Amino acid sequence: MMPSKKKKRLHRSILLAKKIIIKDGGTPQGIGAPSIYHAVIVIFLEFFAWGLLTAPTLVVLHETFPKHTFLMNGLIQGVKGLLSFLSAPLIGALSDVWGRKSFLLLTVFFTCAPIPLMKISPWWYFAVISVSGVFAVTFSVVFAYVADITQEHERSMAYGLVSATFAASLVTSPAIGAYLGRIYGDSLVVVLATAIALLDICFILVALPESLPEKMRPASWGAPISWEQADPFASLKKVGQDSTVLLICITVFLSYLPEAGQYSSFFLYLRQVMKFSSESVTAFIAVLGILSIVAQTAVLSLLMRSIGNKNTILLGLGFQMLQLAWYGFGSEPWPKINDKKPILMLPEHIIRITFFNA
């Protein structure tokens, strides 16, 4: 108990020192003191912009690669994911030295850079999406931003709020994009998505305060960045040195491995194989987003207080297996009502818990 109390006191002292430095003019940029609300606005705008392009992207992908749609989708997402894995440690280490704000600007800019290319050149659009994986680590920098301004016992809820905001951005944006595309054409949707991405960049430039004051950065203490900090494989080697961290990493890896495959191709599968309309796909995403918001906020908080962290993780993994099995064995939209147009199947996120920072 004593080491834990000392650790909490130390963390409170660090947070207090950061607030004093900011108050004394350590970071004059931005509006107000850094807060979790700044972080969720960045996440919301970025993924709202991409959510608008859900339906147009599925169409353009099929038109560009009609014979190898799923293969090319897998390659694009695979290259992007690999580059993110390789670059994430370096960007994280650099943000510790140069601050979170500059790297949030960098990651959002390059993540959203492919958006206007959809109508200019589909080939370049998908190529730039793949390469943008080098900087497509906005979530990592946002979580670091949140960690800077929260105490340890607050972080699970704070991370849950960030994840819920991501889901919230997908509740309406795909439906709005599909509706505008049907009425006014996909060009307007691309212009709107580009404008929202630019708004996100402007928000970071003008309104986002730095969460890591210059006086609190390692560079101020004469700690240079080593290759070990930037090497993603060095981090993997360290995992085995702590049995608890190793078990957590294995759990997260085995959980996200099937999820990554599902998320990268599922909506394309609904559109091309299950023959969902654009409206059905966007409605499906909206329902998942609503259920995810509930799971990430109210349900997550309730379960953590009532059954504890470990049992919450086990429950979440159990529902994840149910969700994936349901998707795997489902062969048609279900249920059907009076032999009319089938409604959506809704298995995912019934109580799907994504648990951060256990």
Distance separating the N- and C-terminal Cα atoms of the chain = 18
pLDDT on residue 63: 86
pLDDT tens digits, one per residue of 273-288: 777 777 777 777 778 7
Sorting pLDDT into bands at 50, 70 and 90, what band is 348?
very low
Share of the chain above pLDDT 70, in %: 78
Distance, CA of 156 to CA of 354 (rounded, Å) = 10
pLDDT on residue 201: 94
Flag whether the pTM goes above 0.75.
no
Nearest to residue 170, comparing CAs of 43, 316, 38, 354? 43
pLDDT tens digits, one per residue of 176-230: 888 888 888 888 999 999 999 999 999 999 988 887 766 555 554 445 666 666 6
Residue 25 pLDDT > 60 = no
Distance, CA of 193 to CA of 173 (rounded, Å) = 10
Residue 347 CB neighbours (<10 A): 17
Distance, CA of 103 to CA of 135 (rounded, Å) = 9
Distance, CA of 316 to CA of 277 (rounded, Å) = 30
pLDDT tens digits, one per residue of 83-138: 888 888 888 778 777 888 888 998 999 999 999 998 888 888 888 888 888 888 88
Stated length of the chain? 358
Instruction: List, as one string, the DSSP characters of 247-262.
Output: HHHHHHHHHHHHHHHH
Sorted by where each starts, the structural domains of the chain and their CATH numbers stand as 34-210+230-329 (1.20.1250.20)
Q: How far is CA 142 from the centre of its chain?
A: 9
pLDDT on residue 26: 47
